[in-house]
Amino acid sequence: MLASAWKIVRDRLELLEQKGIDNSKVRSQLANKPNLRQEYFAVCDVLHALIDALQARFSVLAATAGVHRPSPYETN
């Protein structure tokens, strides 16, 4: 699931680039072009979903990892 979501993000960003979005003028382009703004916010929505999924996965890993006990070599 995560790999396909990253592919969607990459594909959408490439589409925005093909439509002429420029990093230095993003704000003005999004303000003046509703179609670009809609695409941009779609990418943001997918990124937010990815972040939520990865944070949930990390939370489970952190909760089930147990306590770290340093080896004697780490304490010197």
pLDDT tens digits, residue range 42-60?
Answer: 999 999 999 999 999 888 8
Residue-number span of the structural domain to which 11 is assigned: 2-54
Q: What is the pLDDT of residue 76?
A: 56
Whole-structure pTM value: 0.70
- Residue 28 falls within a domain, yes or no? yes
- Residue 73 falls within a domain, yes or no? no
In total, how many domains does the chain have?
A: 1
- Residue 29 falls within a domain, yes or no? yes
- Residue 60 falls within a domain, yes or no? no
- Residue 19 falls within a domain, yes or no? yes
**Stated length of the chain:** 76
- Residue 66 falls within a domain, yes or no? no
- Residue 75 falls within a domain, yes or no? no
